[in-house]
Amino acid sequence: MARFLRRRWQTSLDIGSGISRRDRRSCDYEAYAPDTLTSRAFTFDSGVTADVADAERAIARLNEQALTLIDTEALARLLLRAESVASSRIEGLKVGARRLLRADAAQQLGETLNDVTAAEVLANIDAMSFAIQTIDKEEPISTHHLLEAHRRLLCKTRLSDRAGRIRTEQNWIGGSSYNPCSAAFVPPPPEMIEELLKDLCIFCNDDSLPTVAQAAIAHAQFETIHPFVDGNGRVGRTLIHMILRKRGLAPRVLPPVSLILATWANDYIEGLSATRYIGASTSPAAHDGINLWVGRFASACRRAAADANTFETQVRRLQDEWRKRLGSVRSGSAVDILLKKLPGLPLLTVQSAANLIERSVQSTNEAVTRLVEARILSQMKAGQRNRTFETPDLIKAFTDLERRLASPAGDTRTSEPARRVPYRSLPEKSP
């Protein structure tokens, strides 16, 4: 039975700390203790059941249509990058596509990365990549996967000493940074977390519910538990993709759900809050809350899949246009293979491209030169050492995707973005 636990917050701050009276006060507060998931029976209204089915068909269609692409894995990586950026953006980390791609390239070249914000987003990509690449139908999702994803997320931040560790103190959402007295929500106390996570993982490995409904409920429960001192939102959204991948619904292309959740931020928070009922899991409040959230989550999945399909079509058209610019391209040549791989490599060096297409540096360099001459690639770093090239058309497509998904109606011409997004800009000139 879900309940509030009344606790006492005793401040350790005194008047000499320079902290305001409001922030240094002691108080009674209530921490929320949710029901376990494995003890609940979930029933969905007919409308929600239909929404979930529509969402699953949309995600399946995205994966089926992606298989018609020459190199679906490359597109999947690019969409994963978009999803990772959006997931971080919900947490307040804002970084544009070009800035992120350049930071990623610098990191791969072993250069010192001074862009702290971009570094955090790249850590988010690493955490999400680990999570989805290590999960398959045979291996169960475990607390270890969640802890390792969290460790990768925070290992290069100021909170590295907390990376991959369950919190041992009370946390809260909203209100003061110094006490939970005015918090909007107080998660379970630390002594409950380990058992709640074990229960969550058991639920994640069950296949009795539709995949989208399971992902929605698991995400909401993880956010309610809030097991870490920081990064809960990002790990929680990574869990969504772990379930979609494990259940086989999204084996190749993951819909960028976090882009939609970031756009529908108020509905997202309201939906999560609706799942935090008090009393029996069979109560009307419990039923209505879970149906509200699952329905909204399903709508976000359906919208994400549709816009990802639009992006995929746009990338395919770009590849056709590139071939027209180049004229004759010999099948199996370095140019031919690089064109096929390019959607997953919007920023590259000759060496990274050679590794990807498995051709010599010399033949790859000749292919890159030809793509530069056709204005498909643009050199961003002068000189002969560690020359870096970008694909302006892909970065524009990436930006258009972010802008479209930031629009509540899916069209920035008729519905203004609901959050900060990059401006449409002209590609930079080569040096």
What gap in Å lies between CA 79 and CA 76, rounded to an integer? 5
Domain 3-302: homologous superfamily in CATH? Fido-like domain (1.10.3290.10)
Beta bridge partners of 279: 2
Closest by alpha carbon to 304, among 135, 82, 131?
82
- Report domain extents, the chain: 3-302, 310-406
Buried b (16+ CB within 10 A) or exposed e, 84-93: bbbbbbbbeb
Q: Are 329 and 336 in contact (CB under 8 A)?
A: yes
Of the pLDDT bands very low, low, confident and very high (cuts 50, 70, 90), residue 429 is very low
The string of pLDDT tens digits covering residues 71-130 is 444 445 555 566 566 656 666 556 666 777 777 777 777 777 788 777 777 777 777 777
pTM value is 0.85
| Range 241-267 average pLDDT | 88
Instruction: For residues 346 and 392, give the distance between their C-alpha atoms in angstroms, rounded to a whole number.
Output: 8
Tens of pLDDT along 176-197? 999 999 999 999 999 999 999 9
pLDDT at 81: 60
Using DSSP's 3-state secondary structure scheme, residue 28 falls into: strand
- H helices present in 155-264, as ranges: 193-204, 211-225, 232-246, 257-263
Task: Give 299-324 pLDDT, tens digit per residue.
Answer: 999 999 998 888 888 888 999 999 99
Mean pLDDT, the chain, whole residue set: 86
CATH architecture of 310-406: Orthogonal Bundle (1.10)
